[in-house]
Amino acid sequence: MTTIDDIETNFELLDDWDDRYRYLIELGRELPPLPEGTQNDTTKVPGCVSQVWLVSDILPGAPPRLTFAGDSDAHIVRGLVAIALSLFSGRTAPEILAIDAEATFGRLGLQEHLTPQRSNGLRSMVGRIKEDARRAMAEA
């Protein structure tokens, strides 16, 4: 998976937003498919206009570490899922809770170039990821 640092660097290199949208779509194409049967009401992220599914896996430890997989039925949103996964997956629960996703998305220029519906969906994904991290800490 592409790292968030690589994504930020690539966004800086792309001056035109059409090129950035194409890059978002390419990031989405690189997402591995979700395992069979995981696209369901339990994994669906509410608040997204497009369908988005997030699956979290809590790895035991002190503190617990979480990995995420995701998918969407829309190309650009699938790229946004890839960005969210690169930002959060593989980190500990406290690290996830400390990440300022809005600042990262701001550096990428996403707030100015996404529709309000896609921005709301991105916030819903981040909310779901952080909720999973809080739950993992409570269960540890």
Residues labelled as active-site residues? 48
Contact predicate 46/120, CB 8 Å: no
Burial annotation 48-87 (CB, 10 A radius, 16+ → b, else e)? bebebbbbbebeeeebbbbebbbbbebebbbbbbbbbbbb
Local structure of residue 71 (DSSP, 8 states): E
User: Of 116, 98, 27, which Cα lies nearest the Cα of 124?
Assistant: 116
- What distance in Å separates the CA atoms of residue 98 and residue 101, rounded to the nearest whole number? 9
CB–CB of 29/112 below 8 Å? no
